[in-house]
Amino acid sequence: WLEVMDISHNCFSGSIPRNVDFPSLRELRLENNEFMGSVPGSLFNAEALEVLDLRNNNLSGKILNTVGETSKLRVLLLRNNSFQTHISEKVCQLSEVGLLDLSHNKFKGPIPSCLSKMSFAGSKALQQPITGGNIFEACKSY
């Protein structure tokens, strides 16, 4: 069974196929391509998926609205795409996530307060911000 699929750093374009069904897939790396459109919600329901790297494409839509409670994602990398919606509270359902990169997009609205309660297990950078304590409490002082 396929456990890791890495087709990063190519020139693949178009939409990410909606019918992708790899029950044993643990890592899907599609970064640095030319994919566009929305991300299929089925990716978040893949039972074994732990790493989803979609950095540096032209993806858009409401990706964080499709996050499922059963998701085992530990790493979700969405950096440098074209997401323009608000960050849904559903992102906090990613209870296993250790690394979450939403930077260099066009997200709107407030940052969900539930993010300050996430443990980010395995992410020392987020557990120990430079100022100490909770990263969102530190931001309030600016």
82: Cα separation from own chain's centroid: 13
The 10s digit of each residue's pLDDT in 109-138 is 998 888 888 777 655 444 333 333 444 444
Residue 75 banded pLDDT, cuts 50, 70, 90:
very high
pTM of the model: 0.81
Q: Where are the domains of the chain?
A: 4-110
Beta strand residue intervals within 58-142, DSSP E: 58-59, 75-77, 99-101
Give the span between the Cα atoms of 87 and 90, in whole angstroms: 8
Contact 87, 109 (CB under 8 A): yes
The pLDDT value recorded for residue 70 is: 56
Class of domain 4-110: alpha beta
* 141 pLDDT more than 50: no
How many residues does the structure list for the chain? 142
The 10s digit of each residue's pLDDT in 76-107 is 999 999 998 888 888 888 888 899 999 999 99
What percent of the chain shows pLDDT beyond 90? 43
